[in-house]
Structure 1
Amino acid sequence: MKLFRSTAVVLALTTGLLALPAQAEVVQNSSGDPLYTAEAPGAFSMVADLLIARPLLIAATVIGAGVFVVALPFAATGGGIGDAGRALVVEPGKAAFVRCLGCTGDGYNKRQ
């Protein structure tokens, strides 16, 4: 019974924290050049991202890799290995490791 209560409390807290939106402000440079436009998230967004979102995204990447290995024979017969790999491993991995801390978009601004 104690395990059930502990699990219920953890689930309730996690669900409550995930329901809070982590919003970031967009700050533009005075030049107006989109190359120098930066997304400047607040401190609460960074803390929530670091403590909640990143561990969940890393876990989703690891679980997605396991599911991908299991689904690989089926994806190979259907010809969707690339799509399955992108959806299960690459997208959560990019969200976990490529985007800046507290940012809502994935990736970073690249110079072309």
Structure 2
Amino acid sequence: MSLFRTWVTTMTFLIALVGLAPAQAASSSVDEVSYNSGNPSYTTDANAPKGYAMIGDLLIARPLLIAATAIGAGAFVVSLPFTLLGGNVGEAGQALVVEPGKAAFVRCLGCTRSGYGKTE
């Protein structure tokens, strides 16, 4: 199998795996319970990202967000003359570069919100 076919097969499998995970979680009838034995090393955090969310974030979301940051930076440079005339350079920079950059580089692995330690 060629390298390209192997990559496509792997990505298809991972996308299907990440896509099926919420359906499996929704069909579960058992509520998640935080088991606390008194030992801090065995305490579970219900808000911590799951493993499949971390894998999907690492393999799919982060590369796409880094690409969006690079494309947004290019679009910002191209639109700079127009945003200077319109007086909204800060807003354009925030929307095209800063927001995708924060999502790519500041967000914890598997988290859904930007910032350190935010899991919601």
TM-score normalised by the chain length of structure 2: 0.62
- Runs of 5+ consecutive residues of structure 1 not aligned to the other structure: 1-5, 31-36
User: Is the aligned partner of 1:93 residue 2:101?
Assistant: yes
More relative contact order in 1 or in 2 (CA 8 Å, sep 6+)?
1
Distance 1:21 1:65, change over 3 A: farther
* CA–CA distance in structure 2, aligned partners of residues 73 and 59 of structure 1: 23
* CA–CA distance in structure 2, aligned partners of residues 51 and 108 of structure 1: 20
User: Is the aligned partner of 1:54 residue 2:62?
Assistant: yes
- Runs of 5+ consecutive residues of structure 2 not aligned to the other structure: 23-32, 37-44
Instruction: Looking at secondary structure, tell me which structure has more strand per residue.
Output: 1
What's the RMSD between the two structures over aligned residues? 3.2
Larger of the two Rg values belongs to structure: 2
Give the number of equivalent residue pairs. Answer: 89
Residue 81 (structure 2) aligns with: 73
Deviation at 1:108, TM superposition (A): 1.8
Identity of aligned residues (%): 64
Residue 34 (structure 1) aligns with: none
Q: Secondary structure at the match of 2:48?
A: strand
